[in-house]
Amino acid sequence: MSRRRVVITGFGCISPLGNDIQSTWKAALAGESGVGLITLFDATEFRTRIAAEVKEIDPIQTIGKRLARRTDRFTQFALEAAAQAIQDSDLSIDDGNRDRIGVIIGSGIGGVSTIFNASWKYLDSGPKQVSPHMIPMMLPDSAPGHIAIAHGLRGPNMTVVTACASSANAIGEATEMIRRGAADAILAGGAEAAIVPVALAGFNSMKAISTRNDAPTKASRPFDLERDGFIMGEGAACLVLESYEMAHGRGAKILAEVLGYSATSDAFHMTAPAANGAGAETCMRNALANAGLAPEKIDYINAHGTSTKLNDVSETQAIKAAFGEHAYHLAISSTKSMTGHLLGAAGAMESIFCVLALQNNVIPPTINYQTPDPECDLDYVPNEARQQKLMYVMTNSFGFAGHNACLIFGKA
């Protein structure tokens, strides 16, 4: 039996660059940075005092006071991104289709701010002061659960937790469900809101994040020789995936097609990538095979590109191994240079950037690229967006514990 085609008919986002698709994309093409000094709490005592925060958003305005009090920040972001995506897709939900529409949202960390705040309340005032809403607020699956409740979606509903590959895996697994007929449409994406003291302290202790506190907007610099770590980011991104038959039947606008997906494991280390990017190479090769495309067909890769010493070299080596000589003809950029690292939501946000690149034939840049690294010698679209005809694009997402996910999108 031939598999069903899967297309994208809408999307929405909350990001450090803007609280909708239009403002986020405009800022990305302009090469703007969403990184600044942390305002969510007093970070004076931390080695790192910068992050890429979501700005000027009031959950009471977006989801109402009652729900805002009973949801973690990451769920609030997810609800807004999903609502935008449904509106953008012009998807009408009713009793005739709600059993065939699902939600899959990835989150690497989930409700860490809820856990942090509840722990302080417990230590300060005892067990009776811990909210009865604490458990459902902290669970990573609260995001898809709340989205399903808000829109009456009774199809498959789950969370994917694969660290920084979470939302790329969510999109990939949603694609596979639609391909095999388990659903007709799925809201897929990711949400994260981990800029809290305990998480910042943990990443600081690992020495994984940048300490360029005196120049926040210059801190995320993927593939640059002077990179010194990633920047914590937050936000949510959601895409409406549909079978081609459903989208065509209802006259939906088709933004792009999901052509390939692959997931692999390094089976190597809990935080470091495999030597020479072996797991990532296999993942890219498998995604190409899944899409039925030769390596030379890919025009652009939205790289994982975290701005860490090990990751950027490893990914560069993996791209060279997977694409051979074509690696030197590929356009590659890391939008994390602008958004920071949205952790579990990164893959979904970067998938949206891929679709927008396809639609507009323009590649968002890697900003802050000033000093080439001899070990990172590919074309990283430095500092300025580039007009280029695009037909097929790939996005990479690699997570702690060796999780690798690759997605390939084609022009509608």
Angle subtended at Cα 77 by Cα 16 and Cα 157, rounded to the nearest 5 degrees: 135
Least confident of 71-80, 117-126, 151-160, 225-234: 117-126
Q: Label residue 275 by pLDDT band (50, 70, 90).
A: confident
pLDDT tens digits for 73-97?
999 999 999 999 999 999 999 999 9
Catalytic residue among 13, 164, 283, 354: 164
Average the pLDDT over 52-59 and give the result. Answer: 94
Q: Which residues contact 108 (CB under 8 A, 6 or more apart)?
A: 161, 162, 163, 164, 166, 192, 194, 343, 344, 399
Element (H, E) at 172: helix 166-179
* 110 dihedral zone (left: phi>0; alpha: psi -120 to 50; beta): left
Q: Where are the domains of the chain?
A: 6-249, 261-411
- Clarify whether 133 is annotated catalytic: no
- Clarify whether 354 is annotated catalytic: no
**pLDDT number for residue 271:** 86
In 320-391, the DSSP E strands lie at: 331-333, 362-363, 386-387
Q: Which residues contact 36 (CB under 8 A, 6 or more apart)?
A: 50, 51, 52, 53, 216, 217
Average the pLDDT over 399-403 and give the result. Answer: 94
How many whole angstroms separate alpha carbon 97 and alpha carbon 87?
A: 16
Average the pLDDT over 155-176 and give the result. Answer: 98
Catalytic residue among 151, 304, 354, 376: 304
In the CATH scheme, what architecture does the domain 261-411 have?
3-Layer(aba) Sandwich (3.40)
Average the pLDDT over 100-120 and give the result. Answer: 96
Are the beta carbons of 142 and 75 closer than 8 angstroms? yes
Assess whether pLDDT exceeds 90 at residue 276: no
Give me 130's structure tokens. Answer: 């811990």
**pLDDT number for residue 315:** 98
Element (H, E) at 248: helix 244-249
- Clarify whether 326 is annotated catalytic: no
Element (H, E) at 411: strand 403-411
CATH topology of domain 6-249: Peroxisomal Thiolase; Chain A, domain 1 (3.40.47)
pLDDT tens digits for 206-232?
999 999 999 999 999 999 999 999 999
Assess whether pLDDT exceeds 60 at residue 249: yes
Asked if the domains 6-249 and 261-411 are classified in one and the same CATH topology, the answer is yes
Q: What's the N-to-C CA distance of the chain in angstroms?
A: 23
Q: Which residues contact 398 (CB under 8 A, 6 or more apart)?
A: 164, 165, 273, 280, 304, 311, 315, 404, 405
Q: Label residue 2 by pLDDT band (50, 70, 90).
A: confident
Cβ burial 79-90 (10 Å sphere, 16+ → b, else e): bbbbbbbbebbe
Average the pLDDT over 299-314 and give the result. Answer: 97
**pLDDT number for residue 412:** 87
**pLDDT number for residue 1:** 56
Catalytic residue among 13, 146, 283, 341: 341
How many whole angstroms separate alpha carbon 149 and alpha carbon 26?
A: 32
Position 66: which residue type?
R
Give me 81's structure tokens. Answer: 């991104």
